[in-house]
Amino acid sequence: MAWLPTLSELIFIVLLIALSCGSLAPRLLWDGDIGWHIRDGQNILARHTIPHVDLFSATMSSRPWYAWEWLYDALIAWIYERAGLNGVVFASALVIAASLAVAFQLSLRRGGNIAVTVLLFVLCATASSIHFLARPHVVGWLFAVAWFLILDSGTRNELRPGYLFWLPILMLLWVNLHAGFVLGFVLLTIYLLAEISEAFTHPSCPERPRAGQRAGILLVVGAICFLSSLVNPYGLELHMHVYCYLTNRFLMHHINEFRRPDLAGLPTQAFLLMVALGVLGVMAARGRIRHVTGLLMLFGIASGMYAARNLPFASMLLMMTTAPLLSRHSEGKSRLLARLNRPKRKELSSYLPAWSILVVVLGTIVCLEHGRLLGRVVMDAGFDAARFPVATTDEIQRQRSGEPIFSLDSWGGYFIYRLYPQNKVFVDDRHDFYGETFIREYLKVIHAQPGWTEVLDRLGVNLIVIPMKSEISKALMDSPSWRLASRERVAVVFERNQLTRSPLGMERSPCIQIVSSRQQALKPEATCNVPVPARPR
């Protein structure tokens, strides 16, 4: 039945529906980060300029800022203005579904059979679910999978090596969409090292000069990619800033998503099972694997265990490398597996993915119709009132108060989305922008550590919105300088008493040494970040 969708199409369609209007849809707005991305994109579209200074912060207003995701912000704002949050969720679901479906297809193309690849895909999707969020990093997944496809095909001689020169074009986009462009250079380096190793150790003499030739091409392509990566609003300073951001120990230790994954969590357990299957595949191959396969597997395992945010692509990488190894071992040993593998020929044939296109078009129409299909609401994306202070924000919005808000960094993006430009925030989750020095002071307040009152005085904080069950809320209850203004099921609001109110002004706070984003790029010890309680990963 040629008209039926292939397994890859089914995977794409099911994921797209589940993530956009199904049971997984609410997860995509579990992070307030997307809020400031939307507002930044709207500013870019309205002013036709890329930001170089901050617009959202009461503490850092007009200070230098690297908006390294500016192109994503502009695109997501364009979608938002036409389809609202439904469009934002649908676009994110589309990218996530495409990334996983393409990774599944590549696993088959590289030699995986249907049964083994489906098993690995289920584990991969489970591990990746830790970051099913409407954020720019999901675009990086799609770029990374495409990058892997070009590298792997070019070095396998399935395509002409000239196809590798598509990589600089991808880099030109990637560097302006997300800082994950660094991953492209890591993959390039892995393939380059593998080709150099093959050039010296390959048992076939005719293959050695070919490997050396491919290594030379990769060197040239890598150099062009680096030049392409400089085509961004900040030039080489962006690379220095990203390096500073990723090598700061304080930062990596305190940001939840950069910390090691929780071994008790289902996504991590699925990833560990993939690691075990990968080791089994290597053992079954008795070590007879390509150098690049071994290096890619080691990188996938190491990166996944290093930080929770790396689990999605690390899982995709393990699926694409492990599926061929396990499938090769199982070939001819099971009639059932042989039968299951029969649809693979259709799966790998070239044809127009009509079913996928139809579903995407239909989903786009639903978004443009405010989530309605045949008069019935099937999409109604919004921030969860059980996770964000929705009622409190409604009240602040009605009062039209212009008072800056001190709150959790993980709520900052939500407040920017709802209240900008009426209200600014003292902190949000742009940790690289605020810097380590400021974040340390922020944490001192959040955890009610000694000196927290002095920090609030120096910053000129008069309005605090904080989770009810937190150290700082208990301390504020006992403080004579603060009064409880209101409460809801998620948050409590504290206002400073009239007699103790202080004007906003960072110029009155010499004890907090604010380090500008550009200065940080030159000082690796002065970095960024830290979310607290409320960010489930």
- The string of pLDDT tens digits covering residues 50-102 is 999 999 999 888 899 999 999 999 999 999 999 999 999 999 999 999 999 99
Burial class (CB in 10 A: 0-12, 13-18, 19+), 440: middle
Do 203 and 274 lie in one domain? The reply is yes
Q: How many other β-carbons are positioned within 10 Å of the β-carbon of residue 450? A: 7
Residues 416 and 507 in one domain: yes
**Residue 514 pLDDT class (50, 70, 90 cuts):** very low
Distance CA 201, CA 206 (A): 12
Q: What percent of the chain has pLDDT over 70?
A: 86
Element (H, E) at 515: none
Same domain for 251 and 126: yes
DSSP reduced 3-state for 331: coil
Q: Are residues 85 and 200 located together in one domain of the fold?
A: yes
Q: How far apart are CA 479 and CA 472, in angstroms?
A: 10
pTM of the model: 0.89
Question: In this structure, how many other beta carbons lie within 10 angstroms of the beta carbon of residue 401?
Answer: 15
Above 80 in pLDDT, residue 530?
Answer: no
- Across 23-34, average pLDDT: 93
Q: Is residue 366, in this structure, part of any structural domain at all? A: no
- The answer to whether residue 397 sits within a structural domain is yes
Give the distance, in angstroms, between the CA of residue 16 and the centroid of all CA atoms in the same chain: 18
Backbone angles phi, psi at 486, to 5 degrees: -165, 165
In a domain, 1, yes or no: no
Residue 199 parent element (H or E): helix 181-201
Q: At what angle do helices 70-109 and 114-128 cross, to 10 degrees?
A: 150
Q: Could you tell me if 345 and 400 lie in one domain?
A: no
Q: Per the domain annotation, does 531 fall within a domain? A: no
Q: Which residue bears the tokens 């991590």?
A: 268
Residues 327 and 187 in one domain: yes
Backbone angles phi, psi at 247, to 5 degrees: -110, 5
Instruction: Identify the CA nearest to 456 among candidates 401, 417, 500.
Output: 500
349 & 441 share domain: no
Q: Give the tokens for residue 15.
A: 């994921």
Q: What is the largest CA-CA distance in the chain?
A: 85
Instruction: Return the closest-CA partner of residue 8 out of 132, 121, 128.
Output: 121
Per-residue pLDDT tens digits for 388-402:
999 999 999 988 678
For the cut 90, the answer to whether the pLDDT of residue 380 exceeds it is: yes
Percent over 90 (pLDDT), the chain? 69
Give the structural domain span for 479: 390-520
Domain membership of residue 249 (yes or no) is yes
Q: Point out which residues pair with 495 in neighbouring strands.
A: 463, 483
Paired sense of beta strands 491-496 and 463-467, if any: antiparallel
Cα angle, residue 172 at apex, residues 171 and 175 outer, rounded to 5°: 70
- Is residue 536 one of the residues assigned to a domain? no
Question: Is residue 342 domain-shared with residue 394, that is, in the same domain?
Answer: no
Instruction: Report the DSSP beta bridge partners of residue 493.
Output: 465, 486
Say yes or no: 77 and 125 in one domain. yes
Given 331, 355, 379, which residue is the final one in a domain? 355
Instruction: Give the position of tokens 């504020």.
Output: 476
494, containing H or E segment: strand 491-496
Q: Cis omega before residue 421 (within 30°)?
A: yes
Place of tokens 């995407």: 360
**Structure-block tokens of residue 398:** 């009605």
Please report the pLDDT score of residue 317 as a whole number.
Answer: 96
Total number of domains constituting the chain: 2
Residue 253 and residue 127 share a domain:
yes
- Residues 174-206: pLDDT tens digits? 999 999 999 999 999 999 999 898 888 766 666
Whether 347 is covered by a domain: the verdict is: yes
Helix (H, G, I), strand (E, B), or coil: what is residue 132? coil
Look at 280-289, 296-305, 494-503 and tell me which has the smallest mean pLDDT.
494-503
Q: 83-86: list long-range contacts, CB under 8 Å, 24+ apart.
A: 83/364, 83/367, 83/368, 84/367, 84/370, 84/381, 85/29, 85/381, 85/382, 86/366, 86/367, 86/370, 86/371, 86/379, 86/380, 86/381
Residue 353 confidence class, pLDDT cut points 50, 70, 90: confident
Q: Is residue 368 part of a domain?
A: no
- How many angstroms separate the CA atoms of 533 and 235, rounded? 35
Residue ending a domain, among 338, 355, 372, is 355
> What is the rounded average pLDDT of the residues 231-241?
95
- Lowest mean pLDDT: which of 323-327, 339-343, 399-403, 437-441? 339-343
Q: What angle do CA 175, 295, 261 make, to 5 degrees?
A: 70
Strand partners, 496: 482
Mean pLDDT across 519-537:
34
Do the beta carbons of residue 256 and residue 297 sit within 8 Å?
no
Model confidence pLDDT, tens digit, residues 130-149 = 999 999 999 999 999 999 99
Cα–Cα distance, 142 to 102 (Å, whole number): 8
238, 91: one domain: yes
Mean pLDDT, the chain, whole residue set? 86
**Does residue 437 sit in the same domain as residue 499?**
yes
